[in-house]
């Protein structure tokens, strides 16, 4: 059997605490402002991608996403990533004649998320990061490209994907050059820098499909007067303060900045013509709940319970301290939003780590809270308003699972996917 | 029988199209920016107030609001209005010894709205305007005070009340003086300037009490970086454009400015720490519906169907052209938000003017819409999401109904209210 040229890698999801919204160049995906994110643990949320190059494959590339073949549009974002990766491979081949001419071979790409699409989590960040890392590994570019250089390739697929090439706390520096060569991700702090930070994702039930972030953000750039102020004045100041808050592990400052920036971002969406709404009444309920808990703690001179942030959708991502605080947040959310599915990753509820819980449909007892906490701050919401809770933590960067055809491969020996799904209707 | 010194006047509701949000002086109620409003017709929405002065009344003042006696707090807003009115009356008495010494007599004030409190409409604007006009009339100050001067007294009660002393289209100029002597309302255009403009108020069902506008706006002033940009740059430009749009009766520009400013105001509320939400999912539904209708009309080269604006609550106020457009808006709202109570002021539905309609709980047929209108833009909402629809139009300024004790009086001969309600528990 001929040698199999293949790599299988994973990349993590990241959630911004200083938000990216708006491009100064839509083709190169260059943002209007810096942003900063927290990388989540790939043990819970990740994209895994297998890439194989073979001279017998048809020229160009084929892609399967979660077992369904997807068209690769010429001139599209994925195409832009692949062109850049092939170009770099061809350079290597030109300088070392012993290398196989993979840059000219067809490519099979197979990608899967370990979280259900139904979870409502954006997968483009982990997806394009995994793609860039996997093809770079296949092409042997991982030795010559720094992660920041790799982040520029991932960026061409989806802006926020560039931040998923690092673990821990990551900044995307917008850069100023027209060719985008200084618009890249840089590490702010390692995953282990702030080990007590935990994350609870609240997947919110939402009837309708919202505005896509790609079209939404450019409408904001074109129509919102407030966004210009955010870009020029609000974000630069907040980026500096956020770096400092992370450096000092100052959860109070981290919470104030994270919540303010989430609200500022959604304010700019609302200031768009026509306005864009991503948060719904359930999202608002979560905000009121966390703000009230934080207020009651502040009254006792204590640090906040949790920080909330919302991306381009209704789901809340909560940052909190692990242990007792995480337990309080979980039980608070479960009380006011009954019926959410939950896998008890860290055995907070005592039924064993990873135990699945079909959320109780009756409201659960409240955890211990400061006496001034107003229990009437929001009503107990209808069952299933929050569909699912995912408890995770800060994670590491992309992982190379294997080179060649092994047990991690998503492609069979014949180059077709291990798992094939019937295509869904659009 | 001794002469009865009494006046009964009415004042209208006004709805801002360029919003007031934030005070530079909270005691004098001086705003951080100019604002501009449309006065609504008192035939449909108004406050009527009777004021009587009598030497036999106990010193100071008593007030009945909708038949319930209300405490007048020393140093409060109502007190500030009355102190100013008594001071002006005392000046007149000092210069004309023949005048009765009303400035020293006790005062009875009785005030009623012709719209139910349950309608969820703020009544402080019409209420304080009616108070200022009625006491000024009782004191014989109406000849010496211009409406703009009167607006400064109403302003001390509630900022937006100053705009209710004029009919038609009204600007509140924020002024720059520390004593507030240049912070007053001025007419922008008469009521009859734009006779084709109609108004539909959608009273939205809301479970909970929101943040009061008084405390909310100061929190925004203190914490929102975006508000400062709104105050300095966004509003001044929009005020000029709005004056021009009204002068030209340019409904397209009027709609673009009105919707943009409503969204900008709510964006600043969201940018507040903690964030303030006034719009709920029903409000968002109305926005999506009107935006889609406007988009579909624009595609046919037609002017928008309606402009929406939201004050410090979930209710939508829609501006539209009377006749066919008003009919379309009404039937569109009734289709997607079934079950709203509606009094057919202008006989749009053919059952006779003023005919009451208990909204149909089954969705009604859609009106004729441009072919590209997306009927799936929002789902048909649960019955009663919009509780009530009020159809009105642009109206005139305050009216003096009568001087002395006549059929319009809200006070009986003995100085007590004609209609007394049992006090509700707070």
Say whether pLDDT at A62 is over 70: yes
Tokens matching residue A333: 């959310």
Residue A416 lies in a domain: no
Convert A156-189 to b/e letters by CB count within 10 Å (16 or more is b).
bbbbbbbbbbbbbbbbbbbbeeeebeebbbebbb
Taking any CB pair shorter than 8 Å as contact, residues of chain A touching chain B are: 207-208, 223, 225-226, 228-230, 233-234, 256, 259-260, 263-264, 266-268, 270-275, 277, 280-281, 284, 287, 291, 295, 378-379
3-state secondary structure of A178: coil
Minimum Cα–Cα distance from A234: chain B residue: B225
Judge if A180 and A205 occupy the same domain. no
Please indicate, yes or no, if residue B404 is contained in any of the structural domains: no
Chain A residues in contact with B271 by the CB 8 A cut-off are: 226, 260, 263-264, 267
In a domain, A415, yes or no: no
Measured CB to CB, residues of chain B less than 8 Å from chain A are: 207-208, 223, 225-226, 229-230, 233-234, 256, 259-260, 263-264, 266-268, 270-275, 277, 280-281, 284, 287, 291, 295, 378-379
- The shortest C-alpha distance from A267 to chain B (Å) reads 4
Residue A211's pLDDT band (cuts 50, 70, 90): confident
Once rounded to an integer, what is the mean pLDDT over residues B221-241? 97
CA angle A141, A158, A179 (to 5 degrees): 70
Which residue of chain B is at minimal alpha-carbon distance from A284?
B277
Query: What is the pLDDT, as a whole number, of residue B117?
Result: 65
Is A46 in a helix, a strand, or coil? strand
**pLDDT(A279) > 70:** yes
Kindly state the percentage of chain A with pLDDT values over 90: 86
From B164, B190, B216, give the residue that closes a domain: B190
Strand bridging mode B5-12 / B14-18: unpaired
Helix (H) or strand (E) holding B81: helix B77-95
Residue A301: which domain range? 197-393
CA distance A53 to A255: 46
User: Cβ–Cβ of A271/B273 closer than 8 Å?
Assistant: no
Kind of pairing between the strands at B5-12 and A14-18: unpaired
Residues A179 and A208 in one domain: no
Confidence of residue A119 (pLDDT cuts 50, 70, 90): low
Tokens of A33: 């402002």
Q: What confidence score (pLDDT) does residue A123 get?
A: 82
Are B308 and B287 in contact, with CB atoms under 8 Å apart?
yes
Is residue B426 over pLDDT 50? no
A225 and A150 share one domain: no
The CATH number covering residue B36 comes to 3.30.230.10
Query: Which residue from B258, B264, B199, B257 is spatially nearest to B228, judged by alpha carbons?
Result: B264
Enumerate the residues of chain B whose CB falls inside 8 A of the CB of residue A234.
Answer: 225-226
Tell whether B335 and B362 lie within a shared domain.
Answer: yes
Q: Which residues of A touch B226 (CB under 8 A)?
A: 226, 229-230, 234, 264, 267-268, 271
Give yes or no: residues A132 and A211 share one domain: no
Whether residue A231 is found in the same domain as residue A355: yes
Total residues found in chain A within this entry: 426
Of the candidates A238, A205, A206, A198, which has an alpha carbon nearest to the alpha carbon of residue A318?
Answer: A198
The answer to whether residues A21 and A111 belong to one domain is yes
The mean per-residue pLDDT over the stretch B199-219 comes to 87
The C-alpha atoms of residue B312 and residue B214 are separated, in whole angstroms, by 10
Residue-wise pLDDT for A136-183, tens only, equals: 999 999 889 999 999 999 999 999 999 999 999 999 999 999 999 999
Q: Judge: B275–A281 Cβ closer than 8 Å, yes or no.
A: no
Q: Residue B89: enclosing H or E segment and its boundaries?
A: helix B77-95
Q: Which residues of A199-216 are buried (b: 16+ CB within 10 A; e: fewer)?
A: bbbbbbbbeeebbebeeb
Q: Are residue B170 and residue B222 in the same domain, yes or no?
A: no
Q: Which of A144-153, B27-36, B58-67, B111-120 has the lowest mean pLDDT?
A: B111-120
Q: Which of B262, B268, B271 to mutate to test the interface with A (most CBs of A within 10 A)?
A: B271
pLDDT at residue B238 is higher than 90: yes
Which chain A residues have a beta carbon less than 8 Å from that of B259?
273-275
- Spatial CA neighbour of B173 closest among B165, B163, B184: B184
- Mean of per-residue pLDDT scores for chain A: 94
pLDDT band at B123 (very low <50, low <70, confident <90, very high): confident
Residue B263 has pLDDT above 60, yes or no: yes
Torsions phi, psi of A62, nearest 5?
-120, 145
Q: Rounded to 5 degrees, what angle do the CA atoms A221, A227, A233 make?
A: 130
Helical segments of A171-277, H only? 213-223, 225-229, 235-247, 251-270
Residue A1 has pLDDT above 60, yes or no: no
Residue A355 makes CB contacts below 8 A (sequence gap 6+) with: A343, A344, A347, A349
Q: How confident is the model at residue B361 (pLDDT cuts 50, 70, 90)?
A: low
Q: Test A266 with B270 for CB contact under 8 angstroms.
A: yes
Cβ distance B226 to A267 less than 8 Å, yes or no, reads yes
**B257/B342 same-domain check:** yes
Distance CA B419, CA B113 (A): 12
- Is residue A276 within 8 A of residue A211, CB to CB? The reply is yes
Burial class of A146 by CB neighbour count within 10 A (0 to 12, 13 to 18, 19+): exposed
| One domain, residues A207 and A184 | no
**B379–A267 C-beta distance less than 8 A:** no
Which is higher by pLDDT, A424 or A306?
Answer: A306
Comparing CB atoms, the residue among B223, B266, B280 nearest residue A270 is: B266
pLDDT, position A361: 64
Number of separate domains in chain B:
2
Q: What is the average pLDDT across A201-224?
A: 88
β-strand B386-393 against B399-403: which pairing, if any?
Answer: unpaired
Kindly tell me if the per-residue pLDDT of B73 is higher than 60: yes
Taking the C-alpha atoms of residue A345 and residue A356, their distance in angstroms, rounded to an integer, is 9
Residue A80 belongs to a domain? yes
pLDDT at B352: 85
B136 pLDDT above the threshold of 50 = yes
Q: Is residue A425 part of a domain?
A: no
Which of the four pLDDT bands, split at 50, 70 and 90, describes residue A423? low
In a shared domain, residues A298 and A243: yes
Residue after which a domain boundary falls, among A191, A210, A235: A191
Q: Which of B256, B270, B284, B379 to mutate to test the interface with A (most CBs of A within 10 A)?
A: B270
- Cβ distance of A268 and B267 shorter than 8 Å: yes
By mean pLDDT, which of B219-223, B271-275, B341-345 is the weakest? B341-345
CATH number for the domain including A243? 3.30.70.890
Biggest distance spanned by C-alpha atoms of chain A: 74
Residue A426, pLDDT above cutoff 60: no
Range name among A167-176, A205-214, A221-230 with the lowest pLDDT average: A205-214
B185 and B203 share one domain? no
**Cα–Cα distance, A414 to A296 (Å, whole number):** 61
Instruction: Decide: B255 and B306 in contact? Cβ < 8 Å.
Output: yes
Identify which of B256, B264, B281 has the shortest CB distance to residue A280: B281
Predicted confidence band of residue B211 (pLDDT cuts 50, 70, 90): confident
Residue A60 falls inside a structural domain: yes
For residue B167, the model assigns a pLDDT of 98
Residue B405, in any domain of the structure: no
Question: Final residue of a domain: which of A162, A191, A220?
Answer: A191
Contact B273 A284 (CB under 8 A): no
Query: How many whole angstroms separate alpha carbon A114 and alpha carbon A100?
Result: 33
Each residue of B159-175: pLDDT tens digit? 999 999 999 999 999 99
* Percent of chain A surpassing pLDDT 70: 96
pLDDT tens digit string along A312-350? 999 999 999 999 999 999 999 999 999 999 988 898 888
Longest dimension (CA), chain B: 74
A64 contacts A110 by C-beta, under 8 angstroms: yes
Q: Is residue A414 part of a domain?
A: no
The DSSP 8-state label assigned to residue A34 in this structure reads -
CA distances to A252, A304, A363 from A291, rounded to whole Å, are: 13, 9, 20
Lowest-confidence region among A257-266, A359-368, A401-410, B163-172: A359-368
Residue A293 has pLDDT above 90, yes or no: yes
Cα B59 from chain centroid (whole Å): 32
pLDDT at A3: 86
Task: Find which of B19, B204, B210, B226 to mutate to test the A interface (most A CBs within 10 Å of its CB).
Answer: B226
């Amino acid at each position: 059997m001929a040698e199999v040229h293949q790599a299988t890698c994973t990349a993590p999801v990241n959630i911004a605490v200083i938000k990216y919204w708006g491009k100064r160049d839509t083709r190169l995906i260059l943002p209007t402002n810096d942003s900063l994110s927290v990388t989540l643990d790939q043990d819970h949320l990740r994209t895994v991608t297998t890439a194989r190059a073979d001279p017998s494959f048809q020229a160009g590339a084929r892609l399967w996403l979660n077992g369904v073949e997807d068209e690769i549009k010429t001139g599209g974002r994925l195409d832009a990533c692949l062109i850049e990766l092939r170009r770099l491979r061809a350079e290597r081949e030109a300088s070392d004649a012993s290398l196989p001419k993979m840059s000219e071979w067809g490519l099979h790409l197979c990608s899967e998320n370990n979280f259900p699409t139904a979870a409502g989590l954006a997968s483009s960040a982990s997806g394009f990061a995994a793609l860039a890392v996997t093809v770079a590994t296949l092409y042997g570019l991982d030795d010559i490209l720094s992660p920041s250089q790799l982040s520029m390739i991932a960026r061409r697929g989806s802006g926020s994907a560039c931040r998923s090439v690092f673990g821990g706390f990551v900044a995307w520096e917008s850069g100023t050059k027209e060719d985008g060569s200084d618009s890249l991700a840089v590490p702010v702090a390692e995953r282990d820098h702030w080990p007590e930070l935990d994350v609870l994702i609240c997947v919110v039930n939402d009837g309708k499909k919202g505005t896509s972030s790609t079209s939404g953000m450019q409408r904001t750039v074109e129509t919102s007067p407030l966004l210009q102020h955010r870009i020029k004045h609000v974000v630069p100041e907040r980026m500096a303060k956020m770096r400092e808050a992370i450096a000092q592990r100052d959860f109070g400052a981290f919470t104030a900045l994270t919540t303010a920036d989430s609200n500022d971002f959604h304010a700019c969406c609302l200031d768009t013509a026509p306005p864009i709404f991503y948060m719904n009444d359930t999202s608002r309920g979560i905000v009121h709940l966390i703000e009230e808990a934080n207020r009651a703690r502040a009254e006792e001179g204590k640090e906040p319970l949790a920080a909330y942030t919302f991306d381009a959708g209704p789901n809340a991502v909560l940052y909190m301290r692990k242990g007792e605080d995480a337990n309080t947040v979980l039980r608070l959310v479960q009380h006011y939003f009954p019926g959410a599915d939950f896998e008890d990753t860290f055995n907070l509820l005592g039924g064993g780590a990873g135990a699945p819980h079909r959320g109780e449909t009756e409201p659960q007892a409240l955890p211990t809270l400061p006496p001034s906490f107003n229990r009437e701050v929001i009503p107990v919401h209808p069952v299933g308003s929050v569909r699912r809770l995912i408890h995770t933590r800060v994670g590491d960067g992309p992982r190379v699972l294997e080179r060649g055809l092994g047990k991690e491969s998503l492609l069979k020996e014949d180059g077709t996917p291990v798992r094939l799904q019937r295509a869904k209707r659009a």
